[in-house]
Structure 1
Amino acid sequence: MTDTEFDPKSGDSETDFRLSTLLADLAQGSHEERITIGDLLAAMQRRALGAMIFIFAVPVALPLPPGVSTIFGAPLLFLTAQLMLGMQPWLPKLITNRSLTRREFGRIVSAVAPWLHRAESVMKPRGQFVGQSPFIYLLGAMCLILSIILFLPIPLGNMLPAFAVSVISLGLLVRDGLWMTIGFVLGLVAIAVVWGVFWAIIFGTLFVASTWFGFGF
């Protein structure tokens, strides 16, 4: 069994690990002015990969400055690929050295906390086979595709895919197969919406070009 699969004997269940509590502690903890990606990984220690993916996905789903989204978007490519391949979580030093101010991180935690508290109150272990092979690799592939979409300069190309990844990762964290399935469906919807927007932009550009410049298409 890999680290990405569920182990009933592991200590990462929702009974002894609250992601909302950990995030609040991080936001209010150290007196350091900045918090790095490496600090977040160290705080996770050997917690579920789902927790790591959630931490890096949820800021991209929020209406935050573009620079903040870029800091958190890059680790998603590595972590979701590792989820798909059943590998241990690891990030290169180039990414772990990236940082944001503790105030910015506190804003993220404040925005996420109410929703995370509600999610933790209704989520529970069920349908755990969804988080085991071969389904775990399919979830990983979906998260990787959505993470790649995050980097495309397409309207709605950030928030919808990031939200779907956040739901999947929370399901992984709590071993809730229902939430994993909902997140997967949301991922399909996000891909369809982004694909539709992409082609709408292309056809709209071609139409404007043909109207203004008389090009024939």
Structure 2
Amino acid sequence: MSPRDLASRLRDTAGQLPPGPVRLSTLAEAHGGAWQASLLVLLAAPCLLPIPGVGSVLSLGLAVLGLLLCCAHRAELPPRLGRLSLPREGASRSLTLLARFYEFIHRITRPRMTLLAGPGARWWLGPMTLTMAALIFLPIPFGNVLPAVSLMLAGVALAAKDGMLMLVALTVSIGALAASGALIALGWQACAALLGLL
């Protein structure tokens, strides 16, 4: 399914939601096999905002998603999560926003090197998501930006089957790991120097 087809499908679903709360399983079905890509984008995007506590909370959701991605045989939403529900208005708004998002990425991405962004991508995307979630959870100044960007790029790449973009996401994740490691090392040296002075 192309991002344009997915956008059309999400928009149709948003207009046909039944009254009352909407289960997450219904929203996942609307995405077909792209619900994991959408969750990556939805959970990672707010981590770019300089709002205290957002990264810590959403990193837990990203970690759960990383575990699900590690289970390459599991393409469906776990039943326990599927039974959770959202208000109809919020669910409809989320689907409409995602439809606009997929229409936009359809213009800037294309299927290429699809082996890197197909079902087999879960073998490294799962561990990568877990690692980036851990970095987002850590209280590192501006440490959320690169991990969140890498996960958003990975979500877009997964939805568009764009292997080139997936390589960019992996590169950014390596940069995030290196930058966070350097900041942790500098912080450790600063603390050691301060304790030495004391």
Q: Under a length normalisation based on structure 1, what TM-score does the superposition of the two structures give?
A: 0.67
Task: For residue 140 of structure 2, give the secondary structure of its aligned residue in structure 1.
Answer: coil
Q: Which amino acid aligns with 2:27?
A: A
- The match for 1:43 is 27
The alpha carbon displacement at 1:62 in A equals 2.7
Q: Contact (CA 8 Å) 1:80, 1:140: kept in 2 or not?
A: yes
Call closer, same or farther: CA 1:115–1:203 in 2, change over 3 Å.
Answer: farther
- The match for 1:80 is 66
Q: Counterparts of 1:132 and 1:17 in 2: how far apart (Å)?
A: 16
The one of 19, 40, 52 aligned to 1:53: 40
The alpha carbon displacement at 1:123 in A equals 0.8
The alpha carbon displacement at 1:132 in A equals 3.9
Call closer, same or farther: CA 1:176–1:145 in 2, change over 3 Å.
Answer: same
Greater helix proportion: 2
Q: Map of 1:140-151 to 2, 5 A cutoff?
A: 140-151=126-137
2:173 matched to 1:184?
Answer: no
Q: Which amino acid aligns with 1:44?
A: A
Q: Which amino acid aligns with 1:13?
A: S
| Long gaps (5+) in structure 1 | 1-11
The alpha carbon displacement at 1:18 in A equals 2.5
2:39 matched to 1:16?
Answer: no
Task: For residue 16 of structure 1, give the secondary structure of its aligned residue in structure 2.
Answer: helix
Task: For residue 142 of structure 1, give the secondary structure of its aligned residue in structure 2.
Answer: helix
Q: Which amino acid aligns with 2:131?
A: I
Q: Contact (CA 8 Å) 1:57, 1:166: kept in 2 or not?
A: yes
Q: Counterparts of 1:142 and 1:90 in 2: how far apart (Å)?
A: 20
The alpha carbon displacement at 1:30 in A equals 9.9
Call closer, same or farther: CA 1:17–1:187 in 2, change over 3 Å.
Answer: same
Q: Counterparts of 2:191 and 2:100 in 1: how far apart (Å)?
A: 41
The alpha carbon displacement at 1:77 in A equals 1.1
**Deviation by residue 1:153-210 (Cα, 9 ceiling, x = unmatched):** 2223322211101101110011011111100000000000011111111111111221
Q: Counterparts of 1:113 and 1:156 in 2: how far apart (Å)?
A: 30
Q: Contact (CA 8 Å) 2:114, 2:163: kept in 1 or not?
A: yes
The alpha carbon displacement at 1:54 in A equals 1.7
Q: Under a length normalisation based on structure 2, what TM-score does the superposition of the two structures give?
A: 0.73
Call closer, same or farther: CA 1:43–1:115 in 2, change over 3 Å.
Answer: closer
> What is the number of equivalent residue pairs in this alignment?
187
2:50 matched to 1:63?
Answer: yes
The one of 128, 131, 142 aligned to 1:156: 142
After superposition, the CA RMSD in angstroms is 3.7
Call closer, same or farther: CA 1:175–1:94 in 2, change over 3 Å.
Answer: closer
Call closer, same or farther: CA 1:83–1:126 in 2, change over 3 Å.
Answer: same
| Identical-pair percentage | 20
| Long gaps (5+) in structure 2 | none
The alpha carbon displacement at 1:93 in A equals 5.0
Q: Which amino acid aligns with 1:125?
A: P
Call closer, same or farther: CA 1:74–1:86 in 2, change over 3 Å.
Answer: same
Q: Counterparts of 2:3 and 2:101 in 1: how far apart (Å)?
A: 16
